[in-house]
Structure 1
Amino acid sequence: MTLNRRKFLRNLGITGSLLTMPAAILNATPLFKKGRIDLSTITLKGKVHSNGKGIPGVQVTDGINIVLTDKHGEYSLQSNATAEFVYISVPSGYAFPEEKGIAAFFRPLTKGNGVIKNDFSLEKLMTDDQQHTFVVWADPQMKSKKDVELLMSQSVPDLQALVKSYPKETLIHGIGCGDLVWDEFELFADYKQAVALSGIPFFNVIGNHDMDLEARSDDGSANTFKKQFGPTYYSYNRGAIHYVVLDDVFFVGAAKSYIGYITENQLQWLEQDLANVKPGSTIVLSLHIPTFTGAQRRAGKPEEIGGGTVANRKQLYKMLAPYKVHIMSGHTHFNDNWEDGNIMEHNHGTVCGAWWTGPVCGDGTPAGYGVYEVDGTDIKWYYKSTGLPKETQLRIYPKGKVKDAPEEIAANVWNWDSKWKVEWYEDGILKGPMEHRVAYDPWAVELYAGPLLPKKHKFVEPTLNDHMFFAKPSPDAKKITVKATDRFGNVYEETIG
Structure 2
Amino acid sequence: MKKLLTLLTILSLSCTLLCISGCEDSGDSVYVDEGRLVSDVVINTSMDVFKGMEVPIEGQGFESGDQMMLRAETDLEATTEVSSSNLLTFTLPDEIEDGHTYKFVLLRGDDYQVLGASTLTVKLVINVELDETMSASWGAPAVIRGEGFRMTDVLVLDQAGGSHEITPSEVDDQSVTFIIPEGVAEGESTFTLRRGEETQELGTTELFLSTSAVVPDKEGMTIKGIVHSNGQGIPNVLVSDGDLITQTDENGFYWLASEKRNQLAFIILPSGYDVPTQKAMPQFWKPCTLDASTCEQLDFKLIPTQNDNHTMLVATDMHLANRNTPLDHVQFADGFVSEITANYNSFAGKVYMLNLGDFSWDLYWYSNKWALPECKAAIEDFNFQVWSAMGNHDNDPYVADDFLAEAPYRQYMGPVYYAMNIGKIHYIMLDDTQYTNDGGSQGVVGDREYNRTFTAKQLAWLREELKYVDKSTPIVVGAHCPLYNYSGIDRVTTAVTNVSEVLSCFDGFKNVTFVTGHTHVNRNIQSPSFSNVYEQNVAAVCGTWWWTRNYAGINICTDGSPAGYKIYTVNGTDMKWQYKGVDLPVERQFMTYDMNEVKNYWATDEEAQKAFDSGNLPNRRNDYNSVGENEVFINVWAYEPGWKITVTENGRQLDVEQVWMRDPLHTISYDIPRGVSNSLTFPSGYCPHIFSVTASSANSTLEISVTDRFGNVYTESMTRPKAFKSDF
TM range (shorter): 0.7 to 0.9
What's the Cα RMSD here?
Answer: 2.2
Gaps of 5+ in 1: 1-39
Residues 1:189 and 1:81: Cα distance change in structure 2 (over 3 Å): closer
Give 2:328's match in structure 1, choosing from 147, 156, 172.
147
Residues 1:310 and 1:123: Cα distance change in structure 2 (over 3 Å): same
Residue of structure 2 equivalent to 1:10:
none
Give 2:280's match in structure 1, choosing from 95, 98, 101.
101
Residue of structure 2 equivalent to 1:78:
257
Aligned pair 1:313/2:509, yes or no? no
Residue of structure 2 equivalent to 1:354:
544
Q: C-alpha separation between the residues in 2 aligned to 1:83 and 1:194?
A: 26
* TM-fit CA distance, 1:433: 5.1
Residue of structure 2 equivalent to 1:231:
415
Aligned pair 1:135/2:309, yes or no? no
Q: C-alpha separation between the residues in 2 aligned to 1:225 and 1:492?
A: 41
Q: Which amino acid aligns with 1:130?
A: D
Gaps of 5+ in 2: 1-218, 439-446, 549-554, 600-623, 720-728
Report matched runs for 1:273-284 at 5 Å.
Answer: 273-284=465-476
Secondary structure in structure 2 of the residue aligned to 1:79: coil
Q: Which amino acid aligns with 1:484?
A: V
What is the CA deviation profile of residues 127-186 of structure 1, one whole-angstrom value per residue up to 9, with x for unaligned ones? x311111111110002225111000111111112331584x2x11111111000112332
Residue of structure 2 equivalent to 1:198:
382
Larger Rg: 2
Secondary structure in structure 2 of the residue aligned to 1:60: strand
Structure 1 segments of 4 or more deviating over 4 A? 454-457
TM-score, normalization by structure 1? 0.86
Q: Which amino acid aligns with 1:179?
A: D
Aligned pair 1:495/2:720, yes or no? no
Aligned pair 1:172/2:395, yes or no? no
Q: Which amino acid aligns with 1:482?
A: I
Kept in 2: contact 1:439–1:465 (CA 8 A): yes
Q: Which amino acid aligns with 1:337?
A: N
TM-score, normalization by structure 2? 0.59
Secondary structure in structure 1 of the residue aligned to 2:311: strand
Q: Which amino acid aligns with 1:363?
A: D
Give 2:341's match in structure 1, choosing from 157, 160, 171.
160
* TM-fit CA distance, 1:240: 0.8
Residues 1:446 and 1:283: Cα distance change in structure 2 (over 3 Å): same
What is the CA deviation profile of residues 254-278 of structure 1, one whole-angstrom value per residue up to 9, with x for unaligned ones? 1211011100110010011100000
Q: Which amino acid aligns with 1:399?
A: M
Q: C-alpha separation between the residues in 1 aligned to 2:497 and 2:644?
A: 33
* TM-fit CA distance, 1:41: 5.7
Kept in 2: contact 1:394–1:494 (CA 8 A): no
Secondary structure in structure 2 of the residue aligned to 1:197: coil
* TM-fit CA distance, 1:468: 0.3
Secondary structure in structure 1 of the residue aligned to 2:559: coil
What is the CA deviation profile of residues 90-143 of structure 1, one whole-angstrom value per residue up to 9, with x for unaligned ones? 111112322110122111111235211111111111xx3111111111100022
Q: C-alpha separation between the residues in 1 aligned to 2:430 and 2:592?
A: 37
Residue of structure 1 equivalent to 2:585:
389
Report matched runs for 1:182-261 at 5 Å.
Answer: 182-183=361-362, 184-185=364-365, 186-254=370-438, 255-261=447-453
Secondary structure in structure 2 of the residue aligned to 1:247: coil
Instruction: Give the strand-richer structure, 1 or 2.
Output: 2
Give 1:423's match in structure 2, choosing from 643, 646, 658.
646
Give 2:635's match in structure 1, choosing from 405, 412, 415.
412
Larger relative contact order (CA 8 Å, sep ≥ 6):
1
Aligned length: 447
Q: Which amino acid aligns with 1:312?
A: N
Give 1:436's match in structure 2, choosing from 651, 654, 658.
658
Residue of structure 2 equivalent to 1:463:
685
* TM-fit CA distance, 1:450: 5.6
What is the CA deviation profile of residues 353-396 of structure 1, one whole-angstrom value per residue up to 9, with x for unaligned ones? 01111221010010001111111111100011000001000111
Q: Which amino acid aligns with 1:327?
A: F
* TM-fit CA distance, 1:406: 3.9
Kept in 2: contact 1:451–1:458 (CA 8 A): no
